[in-house]
Amino acid sequence: MKGMEWATVATAPDQLTAEAWLQLLRQHGIPSRLMPADAVSFLGVTPLPCRVLAPRPRAEDARRLLEELTRAAPLAEEREEER
């Protein structure tokens, strides 16, 4: 993927979340990586926000997929109110 143009598709609240999002994208056939400067931490995993990148031609697909897969399920109280 050398020479490929990458685009930011999301900013995760921390590196662990970003790593999980990378796996979701890769499982759906979308190459992805973290912005290298965001994941550098002398303490190991950083608790700071990390940008998730995908190839520019797949960026919109990646954004939609992450939005779909990370959408929170309704809370139990909300489901009760609907009845």
Q: How confident is the model over 8-39, as pLDDT tens digits?
A: 999 999 999 999 999 999 999 999 999 877 77
State how many domains the chain has.
Answer: 1
> What domain range includes position 68?
6-82
Q: How confident is the model over 49-83, as pLDDT tens digits?
A: 999 999 999 999 999 999 988 775 455 444 444 54
In a domain, 1, yes or no: no
- pTM, two decimals, is 0.76
The CATH number of the domain holding residue 19 is: 3.30.70
The 3-class SS string of the chain reads CCCCCEEEEEEECCHHHHHHHHHHHHHCCCCCEECHHHCCCCCCCCCCCEEEEEEHHHHHHHHHHHHHHHCCCCCHHHHHHHC
